Amino acid sequence: MPVADPDSRIAPHGPVVLAKHEFIWIKDYLYKRAGIALNDSKQALVSGRLDKRLRHYGLSSYSEYFHLLDKPGSEQEALMVIDLLTTNETYFFREPQHFEFLKSHFFPMHPASRPLRFWSAASSSGEEAYTLAMLAAEFSKTEHWEIIGTDISTRVLEKARRGLYPISAAEKIPTSLLKKYCLKGNGEYEGFFLVDWVLHSRVKFMYANLIDKLPDLGCFDVIFLRNVMIYFDMATKQRLVERIQHYLQPGGYFFISHSESLSGIKCDLQMVSPSVYQKTEE
């Protein structure tokens, strides 16, 4: 635990300064709790995002705040830290090539007699999971499908469960799907739209720390794990992919973002399209 020093103090009318040894402490803390590997260039970002928590508690140093994080019963504050230091940017139909792949390759080949299960493993505020739901409702040959969304942030999970988004978030949703599956808000919800209950009821959201013990999720035909591994070092990526692939049916598909790669990772996944992998048949 770092101790307060003269480099960690509140400047007059200014933010608290994050000392180097305190930055090292929070880096280690994040790595142990969530597998997140911060590089040294992120010190200013950490200071900027956690400053509001110090002010919330009336603390004069990061060392005092880290002492609070170490206390029993600090789980919610720990989740707040992880939430603040990870990016939750997402939107409907992000990286559309993935959804075109599902439409052209996956849905036509999946037998109508088999139920479908999708896992949005880092679902953030739900846009990815509801995008998958729109596609399943439109293109699946079976009516028996479900979407599971998980995330480490309880704040974004609450937003996902509501299924309520600003009208601006609808920009990438095809017009036909927007009209069919989204309801325009009025009154107090003016300027928002709500995901229709026909989809909302088929999507379940739950908390999960992907590097910790996972809930009993069952197996999936499709897993999306996009824009997650950018936070991890190679060792954590290896452990994560090994864990996640066990939840994928043989022949199932695994999607990562176009900015990520499984290069150097030993797994049972074969690339079939850029950032799209298929689990080898047993």
Q: pLDDT tier at 12 (50, 70, 90 boundaries)?
A: very low
> Is a pLDDT exceeding 80 seen at residue 13?
no
Looking at the fold, whether 183 and 271 belong to one and the same domain comes out as: yes
Residues with active-site annotation: 49, 151
pLDDT per residue as tens digits for the range 141-159: 999 999 999 999 888 999 9
Q: How far is CA 131 from the centre of its chain?
A: 14
DSSP state of 254: E
Q: Which domain holds residue 102?
A: 96-279
- Output the CA–CA distances (angstroms, integers) from residue 157 to 127, 206, 236, 275, in the order listed: 11, 7, 24, 25
Looking at the fold, whether 74 and 105 belong to one and the same domain comes out as: no
Domain boundary among 84, 109, 126: 84
pLDDT per residue as tens digits for the range 101-113: 999 999 999 999 9
CA-wise closest residue to 49 among 76, 83, 9: 83
Percent of the chain with pLDDT over 90: 83
Helix axes 154-162, 75-84, angle to 10 degrees: 80
Q: What is the pTM of this model?
A: 0.89
Looking at the fold, whether 189 and 75 belong to one and the same domain comes out as: no
Domain boundary among 64, 84, 104: 84
Looking at the fold, whether 156 and 249 belong to one and the same domain comes out as: yes
DSSP string for 64-114: HHHHHHTSTT-HHHHHHHHHHTS-----TT-SHHHHHHIIIIIHHHS-TTS
Query: Do residues 122 and 225 lie in contact, with contact meaning Cβ atoms separated by under 8 Å?
Result: yes
What mean pLDDT comes out for the span 221-246? 95
What mean pLDDT comes out for the span 197-224? 95
> Is a pLDDT exceeding 60 seen at residue 94?
yes
What is the total count of domains within the chain? 2
Percent of the chain with pLDDT over 70: 94
CA torsion sign, 177 to 196 to 208 to 40?
Answer: positive
> Is a pLDDT exceeding 70 seen at residue 8?
no
Looking at the fold, whether 193 and 265 belong to one and the same domain comes out as: yes
Q: pLDDT tier at 282 (50, 70, 90 boundaries)?
A: low
What mean pLDDT comes out for the span 57-81? 91
